[in-house]
Amino acid sequence: MSTSRFSRRLRRRGPSPAAAPAAGRQGFTLTELLIVIAIIAVLASLITAAAVRAMYAARRSRIEMEIKQMAGALQQFHTDYGAYPPNGMNPQPLPQNNLTPGSAAALVQADFQRMFKKAFPRHQEPPQLILALCGQNLSSGANLVNGMYADEALYFWLGGFSSDPQFPISGPGGPSFSVSAGEVLENRTIRYEFDRGRLGPRNDAGGFDASRGRSIQYSVDLNHNGTTEADENRQINFWQYMPSGSEQPFIYFDTSRHKPYQYDPYVSPNVTDVHPIKRVREGLTGAGNVQQLAFVDQKYQVLHCGLDDDWGSFGPSASNPSTTYAQLEPYLFPAGPFIGPTADTLANFTDGTLADAAEQ
């Protein structure tokens, strides 16, 4: 084919369609752009909300599972020792020479002493130590003011005791440690597999923060001869245990021996109508001066304040500012109705919250 014929054919075909300039094409209008942005924003908010809900649900499930595991350890404690461990919490301790029978302080002390003797019948721990643990060693020496709080009790009882039947607290692997040697958490006998990294409060060095936590020191006669030649100074740090991602600890209450209000020295003597947790409704009131209270009616409780990290007001005396008892929040027995910050409290005896359990 000659060059001229090839040139004429190209001219007849004209330029390639791909090379032709676009005719009439326009960009998005401002309205269209705004609609697209709005749609993307709505989709993003829906996805974010769903992700947050899923994250909260997963976190709550983890806490609930851990509560159930600790409840199982407490049940095993009962199997091993024949009793559930007492709190030892003592809102109004009294001198031994003025320990009124039936008073809250007397109940706490008797519960603690009986349970400890039942669990460790051969123990030779100092009697003053047992009194100190329930806040009743008021005369001299060590004393845990107001007894053992509900968050301290959980790790104290489930952290493990020594296999020495005479010294379950002071022996190797027990809750106490030699003051001269210092505390090594890994040396404690394991009853419940705690994640020790979540024990608190801790100082910057990773040890027990004595400025925010409580501890007691005492002396033990290792020779049992009444002399001081083999006495050893020992200490107990009262650790708290927090769920992952929470700044509030798990707490433990024992109600296997008495109803919660019996431990409360500030509850009115007119309390005659006490309800279990089920079917509690907002606005529970009494007639005249008669108080109606709604307590958790279980053998024992393991609780956490929920995802809001807020315990709210626990107990009928928590709002009484004239007593030091108000300073013990949230270490009081929970009393309904469960609304506000207490509504989402998680517990071992329900798959939901306290508010859910109250409505069942």
Tokens of 288: 């005249």
Residue 95 has pLDDT above 60, yes or no: yes
Pick the closest to residue 191 from 84, 80, 117, 115 (CA basis).
80
Residue 272 lies in a domain: no
Overall average pLDDT of the 152-163 stretch? 93
Overall average pLDDT of the 144-170 stretch? 92
Residue 15 lies in a domain: no
The pLDDT assigned to 268 comes to: 62
Residue 17 lies in a domain: no
Question: DSSP letters along 16-55, please?
Answer: -GGGSPP-S-----HHHHHHHHHHHHHHHHHHHHHHHHHH
Residue 147 lies in a domain: yes
The pLDDT assigned to 13 comes to: 54
Which residue's structure tokens are 């006998």? 189
- pTM value is 0.80
Residue 59 has pLDDT above 60, yes or no: yes
**pLDDT tens digits for 214-257?**
999 998 876 666 655 667 899 999 999 999 889 899 999 888 88
Residue 309 lies in a domain: no
The pLDDT assigned to 174 comes to: 94
The pLDDT assigned to 255 comes to: 83
The pLDDT assigned to 165 comes to: 93
Tokens of 349: 């005896």
Residue 68 lies in a domain: no
**pLDDT tens digits for 303-356?**
999 998 888 776 555 544 444 444 455 556 677 778 888 889 999 988 888 888
d(CA 295, CA 274): 7
Residue 128 lies in a domain: yes
Which residues are CB-neighbours of 15 under 8 A, at least 6 positions away? none
Residue 119 lies in a domain: yes
Residue 75 has pLDDT above 90, yes or no: yes
State which residues form the domain around 223: 84-241
Pick the closest to residue 305 from 348, 267, 331, 342 (CA basis).
342
**pLDDT tens digits for 97-117?**
888 888 888 999 999 999 999
The pLDDT assigned to 338 comes to: 81
Q: Is the dihedral of CA 171, 175, 180, 181 positive or negative?
A: positive
Q: Tell me how many domains the chain contains.
A: 1
d(CA 221, CA 67): 38
